[in-house]
Structure 1
């Protein structure tokens, strides 16, 4: 590991897709667009999005499984991505009224859409029933409201029942979502007896975390319920295992291991800080030492994306003593997944301009960007990838390596774009650009805010063939013509 204890920096080198490498050469194009849009800008490419769809498809084809990939639109709000998913024969998972309405307005048919919103109000359910979009039912109140709306409109709507309460190693997997297995069975039997406008077609679950054994346990316990229902003459046509397919952001796993171990030493004061004011990123420091792990996404993974799905499908069921893929195929189920982050892996970057350089009262170099922290934020305590510095000028007097922090526009002491100390091969100049790689999944849109009346970042798409940047709206219009 190339590390100097006095710098407080450890590299976390990201994977960079070829389209991004090509984009980075267009300095003048980027600088011009940044100026036009008042910085920052989110730049996307449909190229890796399609590659990721195809990588999942290959796994399903390997096991000869009926399937559908529903793009979890909440991961990124660009409608062009949703439309591209449909163009490639897949679906879209929507989590709000506006997400669903935009998909319908974009010409995506109801049969390719799914409503999984955590809170489904009357307005959303009315839109779903009017267009006969499949709804994932999470609770009794939701069921009663949906049934009432279907009766009012006299329209059939297919429903999927969300289940939870799975058992692994004699322990309950906690979730605030879904019905218990017994409650789900009762509801499905009720729907069957009533033979009304709500038509049961399948089960759904979404687990928090990334444990393969938990996914396997959930699938086999769903299969048990599916078999019980079939014995009563109730057919199940689909099993939706949700999303949460890991992404591998980093090129070198050893860098990830080094950062985690060195961060713990820094929190204990046993080395120079790696973060601003020695932020622990969620590690708890006590009188007897430290507890817990950093509250961050696992940015380095050997089993990611389609490899993660493959591991689940080839795992053996302890209940049925067969691989998971055989259980699904033998019952002729359509296996559904709802990837978000993993479908937009490598599909977007965020670019912002440098507006100032200064030193704080502790002597730390601060590089001010024309963006705010909500424009690069998810549930992870920090985005642990090295950004890319694009120098627009050449000044030999300031070509010296330096270390510092990226700060944003909000009037808060804690307004850090990234909490980690970074290395710059050249001293940043006002007007230089900072590119954050692989931000399309949950980073650029999930928590973005217009506080201080700052406008939201413009969403653009890069066409490598034409070497041009187009807006999300222009890409959609082009796909409709």
Structure 2
């Protein structure tokens, strides 16, 4: 039954002209029919715009820097193709990812290899192609020094990864004593390696802790140079937030939501939600970082970098994919519950990955109704998957739709390119993985499309 009181929390997303053009073109319905199941559509122009904005932030601060796309955020080939065409880098953590980056045209020297305990095949391939390697541990450094150069006849380019003092229980990076040992080994290794600086990755999105640790790494570069090492670059990893909604909507949602707003009275700890609003996001987060004063320094980070002649590297994933795609499901079943509906769609929550982190993807999906006579009002509905698992819910929350959802309608989840589409995808029940469709708006009244060229 329709519920006409505004009692259901919502999380609207700002209008995006590129997404609106796709939804208004009729293309989504055609593609759903053609594929016979869920699919993702990708908007590479948004990726280009985000990359330009980050480069502009570096230029405004007159800081030498380089942007690597964190490939783990989305497997589509189109992002790697854009990196190759725009002279950006790619952050990889496996042999497969490295081969894909090379295969789609990214130069080896524009690739950074991260991740823990890298295997010998990955190290050899990285050194052979001149990629930069973020060394996570002393035994990995030893492998790079002793085995890889012998096999490849060229020095290994490396950064030493720092264990963040604020996150001492992280399994990544080296503490102060290990870093000191690592620098000494790099000195003794001579031409076997080229030690180019330091790196870190922090959980969360706070600006000041990143500034503090970046300032510390600038100081470490100066110490390393005193030992005769090159040490002219630091990498801050990722952690540039994406703002999916406005501040009022986000804070109102957090204040209103409770277990009564979810199917089966499901409850979530608000602290487990991604921060769907951030006052400084994307390139603005980078500007805020460069303007912040690291602890113990009387100048901002940009000034420290320039004075020390240190370049700033970064590895954003989600922030480069902001507004760069959406995910489409078709409703194939509707059940009426007490005061709300339970919808079943033609896919699984494995293609909307937030559920698999004990959380919920909160931005409201769009309902594309096939029926012009669908009753209007407020129609709350939760959204389940086409599997036999009780817990396989795309959206536990009862979304207040403006029309009554019906079988055959489409649901479009907005802004899913960053980590949602394929981080946990699986052909469970032998369901086909949702294809990725690249949308081109260039000088055409109606968008055109092609399938992504991801290697499979």
TM-score (norm 1): 0.88
Quick one: distance in 1 between partners of 2:231 and 2:108? 20
- Equivalenced residues, count: 447
Aligned residue number for residue 32 of structure 2:
34
Query: 1:445 is paired with a residue of what secondary structure?
Result: coil
Quick one: distance in 2 between partners of 1:112 and 1:228? 26
In structure 2, relative to structure 1, the CA distance for the partners of 1:395 and 1:438 (3 Å cut) is same
Q: CA deviation at 1:328?
A: 0.5
Quick one: distance in 2 between partners of 1:456 and 1:355? 17
Cα pair 1:94 1:113 within 8 Å, conserved: yes
Cα pair 2:148 2:156 within 8 Å, conserved: no
Quick one: distance in 1 between partners of 2:297 and 2:318? 32
Quick one: distance in 2 between partners of 1:366 and 1:217? 48
Cα pair 1:48 1:347 within 8 Å, conserved: yes
Cα pair 1:346 1:440 within 8 Å, conserved: yes
Q: CA deviation at 1:123?
A: 2.6
Aligned residue number for residue 391 of structure 1:
369
**Match for 1:85 among 60, 83, 107?**
83
**Match for 2:267 among 280, 287, 296?**
280
Query: 1:195 is paired with a residue of what secondary structure?
Result: helix
Cα pair 2:83 2:106 within 8 Å, conserved: no
Aligned residue number for residue 287 of structure 1:
none
**Match for 1:375 among 334, 344, 351?**
351
Cα pair 1:297 1:380 within 8 Å, conserved: no
Regions of 4+ moved over 6 Å: 4-7
Q: CA deviation at 1:112?
A: 1.0
Cα pair 1:135 1:158 within 8 Å, conserved: yes
Unaligned runs of 5+ in 2: none
Cα pair 2:162 2:200 within 8 Å, conserved: yes
Q: CA deviation at 1:399?
A: 4.3
Q: CA deviation at 1:400?
A: 5.0
Q: CA deviation at 1:233?
A: 2.6
Unaligned runs of 5+ in 1: 268-272, 284-292, 477-481
Quick one: distance in 1 between partners of 2:215 and 2:5? 52
TM-score (norm 2): 0.93
Quick one: distance in 1 between partners of 2:144 and 2:178? 18
Q: CA deviation at 1:132?
A: 2.5
Cα pair 1:405 1:418 within 8 Å, conserved: yes
Q: CA deviation at 1:8?
A: 5.3
Aligned residue number for residue 256 of structure 1:
250
Q: CA deviation at 1:153?
A: 3.0
Q: After superposition, where does 1:161-172 map in structure 2 within 5 Å?
A: 161-166=160-165
Q: After superposition, where does 1:352-371 map in structure 2 within 5 Å?
A: 352-360=329-337, 364-371=340-347
Quick one: distance in 1 between partners of 2:435 and 2:202? 32
Quick one: distance in 1 between partners of 2:276 and 2:306? 33
Corresponding position: 1:210 with 2:205: yes
Corresponding position: 1:220 with 2:211: no
Q: CA deviation at 1:43?
A: 0.3
**Match for 1:186 among 154, 166, 181?**
181
Q: After superposition, where does 1:193-204 map in structure 2 within 5 Å?
A: 193-204=188-199
Aligned residue number for residue 176 of structure 1:
171
Quick one: distance in 2 between partners of 1:5 and 1:182? 63
Quick one: distance in 2 between partners of 1:81 and 1:436? 20
